[in-house]
Amino acid sequence: MNLKILLPFQIFAEKTGVSRIVAETSEGSFGILPRRRDCVAALAPGILVYETDAQGESYVAVDQGVLVKSGLDVLVSVRRALAGADLGRLHETVQHEFLTVDQEEQNVRAVMTKLESGLLHRLARFQHE
């Protein structure tokens, strides 16, 4: 299979000769082999595992995103990714960086919620007038 991991503004990795892939969704882990049917999956933050004959097993910590398998091509589009050989360190990265929403993002979400609710209240008032 051909694996391509995409970030918002760059290609993180392109691998050919991939024999298997294991990814995590909110429903749990699932594996992809070359003859698996085409599919689309929403990825949860976690560890993506892929195996090639040349490199063996490789690990990539990924943030949430989407996986699309079409024929022998597998595209993984995620917000953030980090490759590494130390599975423990990658797991820590997922826990600390990908699963924890930083304070700034929480503030932006709160402001957006207030704006949306204010707009809905004004539209409701406008409709009743």
Residues 59 and 92 in one domain: yes
Does 20 share its domain with 77? Answer: yes
Name the pTM for this structure. 0.73
- Alpha carbon distance 44, 35 (integer Å): 24
Burial call 30-60: b when 16+ CB within 10 Å, e when fewer: eebeeeeeeeebebbbbbbbbebeeeeebbb
78 lies in the same domain as 110: no
Sign of CA dihedral 26, 74, 30, 17: negative
Same domain, 87 and 118: no
Q: Same domain, yes or no, for 122 and 64?
A: no
pLDDT, residue 107, reads: 78
pLDDT in tens, the chain (129 residues): 999 999 999 999 999 999 999 999 988 999 999 989 999 999 988 889 999 998 899 999 998 899 999 999 999 999 889 888 888 888 787 777 776 655 667 778 788 888 888 888 888 887 776
pLDDT of residue 87: 82
**What is the per-residue pLDDT for 3?**
97
Q: List the CATH number of the domain containing 57.
A: 2.60.15.10
Q: What is the DSSP annotation of 69-104?
A: EETTEEEEEES-EEEES-HHHHHHHIIIIISSPPHH
pLDDT at residue number 110: 81
Same domain, 40 and 8: yes
C-alpha span between 56 and 48 (Å, rounded)? 14
Overall domain count for the chain: 2
Identify whether residues 21 and 45 lie together within a single domain.
Answer: yes
**Same-domain check for residues 23 and 67:** yes
Give the separation between CA 43 and CA 20, rounded to whole angstroms: 17
Tokens standing for residue 62: 């990924």
Residues 89 and 108 in one domain: no
Are 33 and 92 found together in one domain?
A: yes
By residue range, what is the domain housing residue 111? 102-129
* Whether residue 110 sits in one domain with residue 54: no
| 116 and 73 assigned to the same domain | no
pLDDT at res. 102: 58
